[in-house]
Amino acid sequence: MTAPKVQLSLRGIRKSFPGKAGPVPVLDGLNFDIYERDFVSIIGPSGCGKTTVFNVIAGLLEPDGGSMMFRGEVVPGLRGRVGYMMQKDLLFPWRTVLQNVMLGLEMKGVQQGEALDTAREYLSTFGLSGFENAYPRTLSGGMRQRTALIRTLIMDPDILLLDEPFSALDYQTRLYLEGVLLDAVETFNKTVILVTHDIDEAVALSKRVVVLGNRPTKVKAVHEIGLDARSPVGARSDPRFAEYFHTLCGELDIQTRTRAA
């Protein structure tokens, strides 16, 4: 296997937020690389600054120090190059499904007619034909999140930034959408950075998992996940799944075996 090409690298990213007793350091020199067509999950204890990492990559927050390289070029952030998806679907309630999906295209200045065709095509690919004119509040949580995923993909971003996108959904819907995501990433050749607190999800979906430590946060470890199955259910049935799961739990100091009572 040839050495993977680095797409995005973070070097010494530092960020602190003002607190009552002076600045609170959150990110304390973060280093990691994302490869082309990578699927990286970022896990860590709660409050370790996962979302801050995200906002820095997305270019919504300026780091206090450190640098970011995108395909060999130093960049301040990836504004306009990333597709951003969060636990909240962030659909615009005053826009129909079709108008929501077209949002990114409008932003890029794509012509109305062309945007309309593309949006219709994506909606039918993801099984949302017939819901073009529905408003988000009339849809189920799974359908809303699927719409959000389409809106993210249709912009053809270089990197998908997913911040716990499925954590508000029930388990079945989540498994289904994880599958949709994996297929889409495969079809559209996307790089994905997934922030999650769900170790199970991280193992099942990722090629690599970046473990963050406690605040002030550094990268604690990077684990390669070598599961062959490329479906969320298949991955979870792989005999090595449990092994990875336990290793990562260990990294986060989660007790996975109860001591003899």
Partner 1 sequence: MTSHVLKNSVPAKRAAGSLRRKPGAVARAADTMVGRGLIQMIAVAAFFAAWEVAVRAGWLTEFLVGAPSGIWRVFLGSMRDGSLPVDTWYTLIEAILGFVIGTALGSLAGLGLWYSVFVARLVEPFIVAINSVPKIALAPIIILWFGTGFVSKVALAVSLTALVALIAAYQAARDADSDLQALLASMGATKNRIFRSVIVPSTLPAIIGMFRINIGFALVGAVVGEFISSQRGLGHLIYTASSLYDLNTVWVGLFVLMFVGFVLYHLIDFAERRILPWRQVNTAGQVQV
In the complex, least distance from residue 79 CB atom to partner 1, rounded to whole angstroms: 5
Q: Are strands 191-195 and 159-163 parallel, antiparallel or unpaired?
A: parallel
Identify which of residues 112 and 256 has a Cβ nearer to partner 1 in the complex. Answer: 112
In the complex, least distance from residue 224 CB atom to partner 1, rounded to whole angstroms: 29
Cβ neighbours, 10 Å, residue 203: 25
Tokens of 237: 């049935």
Identify which of residues 87 and 125 has a Cβ nearer to partner 1 in the complex. Answer: 87
In the complex, least distance from residue 138 CB atom to partner 1, rounded to whole angstroms: 8
The backbone torsions φ and ψ at residue 101, rounded to the nearest 5 degrees and listed phi first, read -65, -35
Identify which of residues 107 and 233 has a Cβ nearer to partner 1 in the complex. Answer: 107
In the complex, least distance from residue 155 CB atom to partner 1, rounded to whole angstroms: 7
Identify which of residues 98 and 209 has a Cβ nearer to partner 1 in the complex. Answer: 98
How long, in residues, is the chain?
261
CA distance 251 to 213: 9
Mapped onto helix, strand or coil, the DSSP state of residue 69 is: strand
Cβ neighbours, 10 Å, residue 24: 13
Identify which of residues 119 and 209 has a Cβ nearer to partner 1 in the complex. Answer: 119
In the complex, least distance from residue 8 CB atom to partner 1, rounded to whole angstroms: 15
HSE-up of residue 177 (Cα within 13 Å, Cβ side): 25
In the complex, least distance from residue 136 CB atom to partner 1, rounded to whole angstroms: 8
4: left (phi > 0), else alpha (psi -120 to 50), else beta?
beta
Identify which of residues 106 and 243 has a Cβ nearer to partner 1 in the complex. Answer: 106
Residues 6 or more apart from 69 whose CB is under 8 A from it? 6, 8, 9, 11, 75
Binding positions for partner 1, rule: CB under 8 A:
55, 58-60, 79-82, 84, 86, 88, 90, 92-96, 103-104, 107, 135, 137, 155, 161
